[in-house]
Amino acid sequence: MNVWLNREFAPAEWGEGALLSHRADGMVIHLVTATPLLDIQQAARRLCSQGIQKVALAGHWEREQQWAFAQGLQTPKAEVELQWATSSEEDREELEARWLCGRWVREMTNATPEQLGPLDLAVEAAAFITELAPDRISHRILKGEALQQAGWVGLYQVGRGSEREPVLLELDYNPTGDRNAPVAAALVGKGITFDSGGYSMKTSQGMLTMKHDMGGAAIVTGALALAILRGLDKRVKLILCCAENLVSGHAYKLGDILTYKNGTTVEIVNTDAEGRLVLADGLQLASDSGAQLIIDAATLTGAAVMALGGRYNALFGLDKGLVSRAMAYADAEQEPAWPLPLEPWHRQQCPSHYADTANSRPVPGGGPGGASNAAGFLSRFVGNEGRGWLHVDLAACFSENGDSLWAPGANTLGMRTIAHTLLAEAR
């Protein structure tokens, strides 16, 4: 089906203010409001919901208009086909790059927990990035007992209750060819491929969509891929912390105390606050690399969703200048994001009688300020007093039931922002 844009009202027979009208050779989207990109995405969503999954964009479309349509023309039940409108080669290359990376993010995040275990996620991510730049990539995978021996205690403890071993992926993108080149940036992703909550078990409703708890790992992998396709020429580490958080006779328990490589002791007061435990390992590894820019992304807290309504990703950082610039990058990429508070004192907001800190507060949602308190916990594991560190709580990367803009399941929100930040800030 062909689809055109029109800046005039639809003919009267289609109803007052109609968004869509039909003509003999296709459909027309009528852009007559102050939010044309949202109108385009909503129109694409309507068409896809009607079973139209093969579309050619006709006439004149700007780059962001085409991408807005692509975001709406999605369904987890089938692979859609979209032909871009005639445009510049630069626009076409950028749109194809977004489409390729976004499709991978969606496929990984929408995969069932049985299809995608911790090792599967790590292998798929390494293969995807390696295919883009095979002569510039190296990687290593640690799993199971090797994690404990290496001191990655958070990832090991969270994942030890599953028969499928926890996995740490460390991927090195080095376009310089010099193995002594400094690491300009590190990306860290939470890769919990299924989260039961552990002994702090979720309800069935709360557990149903927990296949997407590896959304952070998918988003940072997609972001690195997009940055590479946009011409990234700096050395970057990709670190994915992958595990299943399950209950068994070997699972970690409430009251356990973990001692991290940097000496920080953590009391477990909620086994469902596992994302920060695995990210703590990833952030230490990122800091050890010497990277001056560290970005982590995670579906970390329900508190961020409550604060921002599921339409914005939350940005945190002790480096206020970086957070401000990241907000500008998000705006430039048309991805809704909003900063939430983080100060040094937030790391004291999860006190423990037995350890340096607890991993949460033993109350539903972690209590008031839960998203900021989680970010404060993470800040204990980054160096340089938090300079150059950005934490992204992905409150908007998954839609449980879908709505007028998004299909049910994963989207790509956060991928472009992180790719942009990487290209702009990596030195």
User: Are the beta carbons of 356 and 267 closer than 8 angstroms?
Assistant: no
The tokens for 129 are 């990035």
Sheet architecture: strand order including 257-259: 257-259, 265-267, 357-358
Cα three-residue angle 395-400-403, rounded to 5 degrees:
95
Query: What's the CA gap between 208 and 371, in Å, rounded?
Result: 22
List CB contacts of 273: < 8 A, sequence separation 6 or more. 200, 359, 360, 366, 374
Give yes or no: 427 in active site: no
The tokens for 314 are 């939350």
Exposure string for 215-241, b = 16+ CB within 10 A, e = fewer: bbbbbbbbbbbbbbbbebebbbbbbbb
Q: Which residue in the block uniquely carries the two structure tokens 């489409």?
A: 99
**276, 347, 361, 416: the active-site residue:** 276
User: Are the beta carbons of 173 and 228 closer than 8 angstroms?
Assistant: yes
Query: What's the CA gap between 57 and 36, in Å, rounded?
Result: 16
The tokens for 361 are 């507060």
Give yes or no: 45 in active site: no
* Strand pairing report for 54-57 and 167-173: unpaired
Q: Label residue 302 left, alpha or beta by phi (over 0 means left) and psi (-120 to 50 means alpha).
A: alpha
**46, 92, 103, 202: the active-site residue:** 202
Query: What's the CA gap between 241 and 344, in Å, rounded?
Result: 25
Query: What's the CA gap between 275 and 359, in Å, rounded?
Result: 10
Query: What's the CA gap between 300 and 127, in Å, rounded?
Result: 26
- Tell me the catalytic residues: 202, 276
